[in-house]
Amino acid sequence: MPTRFPSWLRQHLAALRTLLVLTVVLGVAYPLAILAVAQLPGLKDRADGSLVTNARGQHVGSSLIGQSFTDSDGNPLPAYFQSRPSAAGDGYDPTSTSASNLGPEDVVDTVDDPATPDDESGQSLLTQVCARSLAIGEREGVDGARRYCTASGVGAVLAAHHAGPGFDGPITRVVSVNEACPTTPFLATYQGVAVACREPGDDIAAGERVVVRGGAPDNPAVPADAVTASGSGLDPGISPAYAELQIPRVARERGLPVDRVAALVDENTTGRALGFIGEPSVNVLALNLDLDRVSAGP
């Protein structure tokens, strides 16, 4: 007569058999099957990370992840198309993919000296956009002015202090919150009160926040994707408008006809998925590699 195990032991043995079977099927057989399928022609490149090689056969990146084209000091290389900003780690770090988490209400810089920050850590989103737009405008030879930005490239924001409690009563003092002293504020007066630069220790939160529109055009010369990071921080593409803005500079630096560079931009532009999803995009890495193939790049 066969031995009959206690019910609790039979339950544990059944659970163990299930664990072993599922481990073999899902932990070994299934991953190997997926790996085998991924090696099929047409899938292998994507499964390996969509790696991109240069003319010498060296891996230089992935077509799915953007990268910066700068020198050792972080300055943009003038002979290359530039990518959009990235908030992922130090820039396009796939292990730190993220957005800045800054929103439209983030307009006041938090650094002790707003006029001279070494990085963007204390800058508001508005000042980051203003500074980037000004720098790109200078690099590309266009007007980098934007609405709600000062001519110096910070957010045009005031703190208006009132005589009464809260925001009641006449205005007694106005401070340009993103312009540290000593400097001349972007606006001389506001509602008849002289505008002062921001002194250390100023209680900015106590004043009424006023964002000044300024006289910049509604449609700035520098596109939005040139001054804002993508949600992932890894976006490999830029808008055709940003690529078009850079064509004259790249053509000049490489000694190529503008039409030739524009043709390369068109060749590396993908349209909307299925004709209506998303926006057209220019892959910056692929475009720069094509440029290196047709001309001598640094």
Check residues 273 and 135 and name the one with the higher pLDDT.
135
Check residues 231 and 30 and name the one with the higher pLDDT.
30
Indicate whether 35 pLDDT > 80: yes
What is the rounded average pLDDT of the residues 209-217? 91
Whether 92 contacts 65, CB under 8 Å: yes
Tokens of 250: 């790249």
Q: For 176-210, what is each residue's pLDDT tens digit? A: 999 999 999 999 999 999 999 999 888 888 889 99
Whether 194 contacts 213, CB under 8 Å: no
Tokens of 28: 């070994």
Indicate whether 298 pLDDT > 60: no
Full-prediction pTM beyond 0.95?
no
Residue 67 DSSP code = -
Q: For 65-91, what is each residue's pLDDT tens digit? A: 889 999 988 899 999 999 999 988 888
- Of the candidates 127, 135, 134, which has an alpha carbon nearest to the alpha carbon of residue 106? 127
| pLDDT of 117 | 47
Identify the top-confidence range among 2-16, 110-124, 136-150, 263-277.
Answer: 136-150
Structure confidence at residue 95 as a pLDDT band (50, 70, 90)? confident
